[in-house]
A = this chain, B = another copy of it.
C-alpha cells in the first residue's frame, strides 16, 4: 500500500490513476498537484483527491510515490523540479508516451541525489482529454510498458509494476530506446497518418466529408486528439517517428506503384498479405 501518492497533472491519465487507486484502496492519501487550483477542485469534491495544491513543496512532502502526468516534454521539466523536493526514498514514475529523454534525464539527476525513477507508459487513453473523461477502469486490460534501467533499484521497479498490475494492466518491460521505436510505429505513426488523412481530405476534396462512413471515421478518430499533447509527443520522439514515417512512405509507394501499373494480381497478393497481418493483431 502506498502511504501518500502525489499526482502532478490530474487530467485524463492522472485523473484515471487517482480514481483507480481510490477505487482499489491502494493509497492512504492521494494528493493532486497542478497549476490551476480551480481545475483540481472537481476531483477533490468527488473525493478522488484528498487534497489539491499548486505548491510543489507542500504537495510532494511525505509522498512515497510521485506520478508525473503532464504532456511528455513537460514531464521532463517537472522531473527536474520534483527531484530536489521529493521525500527521501520516494519513487517517481510518469505516464509519458516517450521514454528515452526522461530516462536519460533521471540518470543525470541521480548523480546528484539517489532517487528512483521508473518510466511508465500506459497504452490507454482516447482522443478525449481532461479529468472529465477520467475513468477508474481505464487501465483494466490495458498494456503498460515500464522502462527501468540498470541504474534503478529493482525494488522500485517492482513497486511501480505492482501499481499498474493492481490497476488491472498487463505490464511489459522494455529498454527505453526500444520502447520509443515500438511506440513510434504502433502509436505515433498512426496518429500522424490519421492527421495527414484528415488534412488531405478537407483541403483537397472538402465536399467529401459529407459522405464519410465508418471506414473514414475509424481511420481518423485519433486525429481529434489533444493538439498540445501530441505536438509534444511527435517532437519528443522525433528520430524514431521520422524513421517510421520513412518506412510508411516506402509501403505506400509500393502499393501506389501496383495501382499505377495496373498489376492486379500482385496488388491482390499484397492486400491478402496485409489482411493476414492485420488479422494477426490481437
Interface residues of A (CB under 8 A from B): 123-124, 126, 142-143, 145, 172, 181-187, 189-205, 207-228, 230-232, 234-235, 238, 241-245, 247-252, 254-256, 259-260, 262, 264, 267-275, 277-282
Contact = CB atoms under 8 A, between A and B. Distances in A.
B181 A227 contact: no
Given A204-B247, A209-B277, 6 more contacts: A190-B215, A209-B280, A223-B278, A227-B275, A231-B271, A238-B260
B235 A215 contact: no
B234 A275 contact: no
Contact of A227 (B123, B184, B252, B268): B268
Contact of A218 (B143, B221, B238): B221
15 contacts: A124-B213, A172-B211, A182-B207, A186-B205, A187-B211, A192-B252, A193-B252, A196-B251, A212-B282, A215-B221, A225-B275, A227-B271, A227-B272, A228-B268, A231-B264
Contacts of A277: 198-199, 202, 209, 223
A263 to B, nearest CB: 9
A257 to B, nearest CB: 11
A164 to B, nearest CB: 14
B247 A219 contact: no
B195 A208 contact: no
B216 A219 contact: no
A227 B75 CA distance: 44
A238 B258 CA distance: 10
B213 A185 contact: no
A251 B203 CA distance: 9
A66 to B, nearest CB: 25
A195 B281 CA distance: 14
A225 to B, nearest CB: 7
A256 B268 contact: no
Nearest to A234: B259
Contact of A262 (B123, B172, B235): B235
